[in-house]
Each structure stands twice: as C-alpha cells, then as structure tokens.
Amino acid sequence: MKKFFTFLFCVLMMNCMFASVMDARVRSVPASISSAAFKNPKAELAPLVQNLTKGIDDEKLKVKVIHDWICDNIAFDTQMYFSGKNKQQDFVNVMKKKLALGEGYANLFKEMCSAAGLEAVAVKGWSKGLGYSGKLEKKPDYTWNAVKVNGVWKLVDVAWDAGIVEIRTWIKHYSTEWLFLEPENFIYSHLPEDSSYQYLSEADQRSKEQFVKEPYIAGIFFESGLSLTKNIPLYDTVITGETEYVFNIDSNTTVTSEIRDKNQNDVKNASWLNRSKDKLYFQIDVPDTAEYKAMLFAKKADADNYGFKFDINDFERNILPAAEELAASKEITAAELKLFKSSFTKVKGNDAYYIKEDLFNDRQNENLVKIFELIELNPRIMEPVLEFNVKADSSYKGFGRGVVKYPTTYNVYNNSTGTKLIAPVCGKLKAGTEVLFQVESSDFAYIAIEDDGSLVNFEKNASGVFELSAVVPEGDVLKVYGSNNGHNYNGLWYYDIIK
C-alpha cells in the first residue's frame, strides 16, 4: 500500500507541472535493445517496438506508447530546418541521428506502427505551424500521420507533441494535444494535399482558400472546454470598430486574452472577455491601423500548470533570489537549491529560462513543485488556444493611442466562470459623472464599488442583474469587487478615473 501511495503522489505532483502523462513503458526497453535500434534501425527497430508494445492488446494504447517513445527520444532538427534543406528524413537516418523534421517524425511513426501490426500512413500537406505566414507554398511543406485504430482512422502529429521551436531553439515539451484530435478540429491547423486524408464529409472538407482564411485554432482549444459557433474570426481580420466573437465554453474553463503588436508586446486593455452561462464573449479593438495579433488563452479551472518557460528578468530578479532565500532560511537544503538551479536551461536569444523536461525524473520534478509552492509561484498558467491577425480598416483608424479601451482586470475575474460586465464596458470614467453600473454574475453573491474608503453594494434588479447608479468619485481608479459572504471582497476589475 505504501508503494502505491508513493507512486500516486509522484503522478499527482508531476501532473501539477505537466498537462499530459507519458507512458512509463518508454523507459522500460532494455538498454541493449535501444542501443541496437539506434545503431542499426533497419534490422533492430522491430525488436524495439515489439518489446515496447508487448502485452498491449488495446490498439489505441499501442499508438500512444509509440508516440510517447518518439517524443522522448527524437529531437527536432532546428539546424536542418533553418538551413532550408529537407533531406535524409527516412526512419533509418532519423534513428541514427536522433533528429528529425516533421517528415522524419512521421516516417518513424509509420515504421514503428507497422512493426506493431498497425496500419499507418504519412500525410503530406500544409500546416499553420513554424514558418506559416498566412499563405501556402505551392508544394506541401509538412508531414504528419494517420493511423487506423480499431477500424477508424485517427490523426497524429508527433513532431508538434514532442516540443516547440521558439525563435531558433527547439525546446522539449511533451503533450498529447495532437494525438487523436478529431478531424473536424485538426483541420484548423493541418491541411492534407489529398482531401481524402481530411477524414471529413464532403460538405465539411476545406479547400486551400478556406484553410488560409480560417484562424489558427490549437488542439487544446477543444480539450479546454471551448467550441466554436458560426461567429469566428478570419486569419486576417479587418475591423471597423469594436468587434465581438462568441464561443461556447464549459463552466470549468478559465480564459484570458491579449492583443499583441508586431514585437509581441501586449497592447494594454485592448481586449475584454465576458462570461454568461455557457457562452464566452471575446471583444477586441485596436488603437490604430498597424497590424496586431489577437490571442485567446485557456485552461481547465482545476488544472494547475506552472509552465515550462520563464522570462529571464523575472527568473533572475524574483524566482531565483526567492529560492536562494529559502535555502538561507533553511526551508530547503543546499542540495535542493543546487538541483533547482540545474533544472533550467538559459537561452539568451529567447530571453528565457526553460525547464529541462524529463517526465520521469521524479526527484527534479518534485523539487521544482516544492520550491514553486514555497515561493508562491502562480500555478495557473494558461495555454494559447486561438490566434488571428487583426487590423483596423483605414476608414476606422482605431480607437486612438493613449486610450484605455477596456477596464483592467484582476485574477479573480479572469478565473471566474460566470460573470458578465454589462455596463459600462470602458477603460476610463469621468469624475463627477453619474454612471449606471450593471453586472450579471453567478460567481458572486455581492458586487460592490469602493467610494470614499467604503464599499457600496449593488442591488439586484427584477432580471437578476446587479445594478448601481453612482457618481464617479475623485481619485485615480474605481474598483469593482465581488464577494460570496458580504465580508470578504476581492477585486474584479478597475476603471481609470479622469478629471
């Protein structure tokens, strides 16, 4: 019983950091068999696969184990990719080098599936991944897989699940986001050259023109509890004023949003999210006619994730000193601090520190979680799930530089699942003016604003909407609060006050 508890504890600890769990069988293959397969793949890959999948009758699990083994052992070949040359992507060369491009990952996956008695194909086409600019090359430039599982064709992209490329650096970052993603969702990021590999009805199949028009929607968008309505943005969206998109959303999903400029800087208060029952209202605007990127981030409310990337300045000025203070106060040992420091790779060109991911290094992973918890690092990192370009029409020209378009939110509001600001949806209020505040909320029993150091509660109207007519006080900001007991109030958002 003790052994089971320890194993369960390790899994739970790791799940705090990593959204997906890699199958332990990937590290169970004897070293002699693995070594032989890497040296002589043509003759020895099949024995490796047979050892890896022995005792597994479930075809879906067989595929996952093969997927996981490749993710754990093969890195993306950034040097070859940025050289512009795509060569030697057969499974033999991939195994010998332990490096691959998308085509190499797909060829190895196909070969390993064949050795396991599974039917798989390499699918050539285009993707909205690394290097995509909103246009398709004349010839296919990417490859992924389809595999038949229990008589049904399933889609898989092992390369995207193995890690990510940031600027020119590949970072190992395992996921199952692109393993068995439904065809109707896979099509927002991958377009096969042969339309039969879309695995969609003829009415739902995408042409090249349609594919290019649609936004990039990550697989995790759907896994996070979001789904599409007919009102979705274009990949290149031109707006003539404030624009709203509506999505279906689970009550257990939390979301945030951003508008970024071409340098990836956040354009403050240029987007706003409202929740109402099972709907998410995503409002966007831009200050001028420059090109921007609109982004939606999401996660399950009960899933903690510290992330795998940390800004260099934040890490060196805040996180690392906080860990060193823990060691100085004897809350952690010198050995734990040393292990913490060795768990990261610094990439100056990316302005980031990355965790050296090893899902089976329990000592490192438990130590990271322990220290993250002690320094009270926010575990609720959200993943980007939707991206599209946005630009103001020349006749509109944007809402103007220096304007605060929407209120500034606090984390409590970002993590709420049923609160909608009806009015006023703006960033600034003028002191001395009378304003009707209206908020719809199933998250809080009380809504209030702060006036002259006191909290003034809203009243519910006949429609169940929290409502308050009040004169905007003098000061810098006007805060809106939420409470469930009428005693403990948390900030939801605030307005800037102008004279």
Indicate the residue type of 196: S
∠ CA(26), CA(44), CA(87), 5° rounding?
90
Backbone angles phi, psi at 112, to 5 degrees: -70, -35
For residue 20, the model assigns a pLDDT of: 78
For residue 84, the model assigns a pLDDT of: 87
In terms of Cα–Cα distance, which of 445, 36, 403 is closest to 242? 403
∠ CA(185), CA(411), CA(316), 5° rounding?
95
The better pLDDT of the pair 17, 125 is held by 125
- When pLDDT is averaged across residues 172-177 and rounded to a whole number, the result is 96
Indicate the residue type of 481: Y
- When pLDDT is averaged across residues 27-44 and rounded to a whole number, the result is 98
pLDDT in tens, 45-100: 999 999 999 999 999 999 999 999 999 999 999 999 999 888 899 999 999 999 99
In terms of Cα–Cα distance, which of 307, 365, 312 is closest to 336? 365
**238 CB-side CA count, 13 A:** 6
Backbone angles phi, psi at 462, to 5 degrees: -65, -25
**176 phi-psi bin (left φ>0, alpha ψ -120 to 50, beta other):** alpha
- Provide the sign of the torsion angle of the four alpha carbons 483, 487, 491, 494, taken in this order: positive
Q: Which helix (H) or strand (E) holds 324?
A: helix 320-328
Confidence band (pLDDT; 50, 70, 90) for 453?
confident
For residue 12, the model assigns a pLDDT of: 33
Q: Are strands 428-430 and 489-498 parallel, antiparallel or unpaired?
A: parallel
Q: Is pLDDT at 451 greater than 90 in this prediction? A: no
- When pLDDT is averaged across residues 243-249 and rounded to a whole number, the result is 96
Confidence band (pLDDT; 50, 70, 90) for 18?
low
- When pLDDT is averaged across residues 339-367 and rounded to a whole number, the result is 97
For residue 86, the model assigns a pLDDT of: 82
Cα(443)–Cα(487) distance, rounded to whole angstroms? 15
| 124 bridge partner residues | 143
Tell me how far CA of residue 149 lies from CA of 51, 62, 136, 209, 239, in angstroms. 20, 9, 30, 31, 44
Which of the residue ranges 7-16, 101-110, 360-369 would you say has the lowest mean pLDDT? Answer: 7-16
For residue 64, the model assigns a pLDDT of: 98
| 260 bridge partner residues | 266, 293
Q: Can you state the percent helix, strand and coil of the chain, rounding each to 5?
A: 30, 30, 35
- Provide the sign of the torsion angle of the four alpha carbons 31, 158, 201, 61, taken in this order: positive
Confidence band (pLDDT; 50, 70, 90) for 19?
low
Across 214-270, where does the E strand assignment appear? 216-217, 226-228, 236-239, 243-249, 253-260
Mean pLDDT of the chain, nearest integer: 93
Q: Report CA dihedral (409, 413, 419, 424) to the nearest 10 degrees.
A: -20
CB 164 within 8 A of CB 175: no
Cα(237)–Cα(102) distance, rounded to whole angstroms? 29
Cα(29)–Cα(290) distance, rounded to whole angstroms? 54
pLDDT in tens, 272-317: 999 988 999 999 999 999 999 999 999 887 777 888 999 999 999 9
Cα(149)–Cα(237) distance, rounded to whole angstroms? 38
Which of the residue ranges 374-378, 423-427, 450-454 would you say has the lowest mean pLDDT? Answer: 450-454
